[in-house]
Amino acid sequence: MIKPDLSLPLPAELGAVHFVGIGGSGMSGIARLFVASGHRVSGSDRSANHNTDDLRALGVAVSIGHDAANLGDADALVYTGALWPDNPEYLEAVRRGVPVLHRSQALAWLINPKRLVAVAGAHGKTTSTGMIVTALLELGADPSFVNGGIIQSLGVSSSFGSGELFVVEADESDGSFLLYDTAVALVTNVDADHLDHYGDHDAFDAAFVTFADKAAELVVISSDDPGAVRVTRALTHRNVVTFGEDAAADVRLHSIGSAGPVSFTVSWRGTDYSTTLRVPGRHNALNAAGAFAVLVGLGFDPRASLDAIATFGGTERRFELHGVVRGVSVYDDYAHHPTEVAAALSAARSVVGEGRIIAVHQPHLYSRTQAMAAEFAETYERLADHTIVLDVFGAREDPVPGVTGALVSERFADASHVDYLPDWQQAADRAAAIAREGDIIMTLSCGDVYRIVPQLLASLGTDRDG
């Protein structure tokens, strides 16, 4: 992957902009904003998806496959952090002296001079960002935003608004979240990840300290997550608001009811405010508490803020229902770290009732799989009734000898609770054979595991008595 040089000055003007990796959730959202701001936009990706289809409908010239000729007469190239340095379009831009921007630099160029709310953390960013955006719209603030997933009620992951606020999901994976001139920083948690970039836990923590202390107005940070607590102790910022179940939290979360859509109460400055969300899971109560802290920190009325958050209906690929066949519900979730998997499976448990959970796990990244195979196995064995493990989705990484999905399945204490099935059709058939009425089949990964959902639905629909 290409490590961005965030020290490079941004061009004063950007004309025609070409996006390499335009089909990704974050890249497509930024590309949409460039279209809305009047730029001519083109792009490429290795395969078509609904994002590339939507961008084509907006007049964007999208090429499938990478070729130097795709750059055309673009005035700037924007790349994703998953891009390899031998990409022909990237090399052509460098050869011609065309300005090359990491996606965070392109987004920073667009944000100026808005008042930025940046949401960072190893988990919960997309949902927390979606809650803040949804609430601000309900409160009449009309923000601009870029989220890592499509907000279901809006049908988009990004938009320009008329208000002064700009809300972004800030990516910590490569340090690019340090580029932004942030007014309000929300840190959902500091659960160490992306150590292939940072090297060790201390460097990961230090990046979050820098991110938070740079916020011009306010830092909102978890009181419950151990990493966030470490970061909080190191902050020099004068305006820090904590949120969580900890008794000393400024926004204290309590009275959580997690059977189905989650209900809870938050205490703020001596007053309790209660609500029920439209989405399940204790983790979403925590996400809502963080969003609430941001909104009241921005000056919005507490009761109105919580009511507005409660209208949030979810984002795509976060516990997203795709279909029900013979009484079996098929969900997809973006979870790709043991903590996220635990939250997603706990949310599923709160709605499945007497049914069972059959998890389909696609390991994401060779480095993460190698480092966390035991944690994944423990989480799935504890929280799912059966797990089917696919092979590793390498994304930006080269394969590592000996690192396959079997690293996870082999670490189950009870081998009868897991299957390692690299063949997707075999995996779909196995999940359908296990499932019975009332069960949930749930795919989990930030790779391309969502593409197996049609196979799962089709396998469920096959007559198994014939």
Phi-psi region of 311 (alpha: psi -120 to 50; beta: other; left: phi over 0): alpha
What distances in angstroms separate CA 77 from CA 42, 270, 279, 307, one per listed residue? 10, 51, 38, 42
Active site residue 138: no
Active-site option among 126, 127, 188, 443: 126
- What whole-number distance in Å separates Cα of residue 163 and Cα of residue 460? 47
| Bridge partners of residue 268, in order along the sequence | 251, 271
Q: Which of 111, 150, 154 is nearest to 136 (CA)?
A: 154
Q: Clarify whether 125 is annotated catalytic.
A: yes
Give me the amino acid identity at 301.
D
Give the Cβ contact number of residue 138 at 10 Å: 16
Amino acid present at 360: V
Helix axes 125-138, 282-297, angle to 10 degrees: 50
User: Which residues, 6 or more positions from 65, have their beta carbon under 8 angstroms from its beta carbon?
Assistant: 44, 46
Task: Enter the tokens of residue 290.
Answer: 């963080």
Smallest CA-to-CA distance from 444 within 388, 373, 396, 370 is with: 388
Contact present, 314 and 332 (Cβ < 8 Å): no
- Of the residues 169, 320, 381, 397, only one is catalytic, namely 169
Q: Which of 125, 381, 404, 443 is catalytic?
A: 125
Active-site residue flag, 462: no
The catalytic residue positions are: 125-126, 169
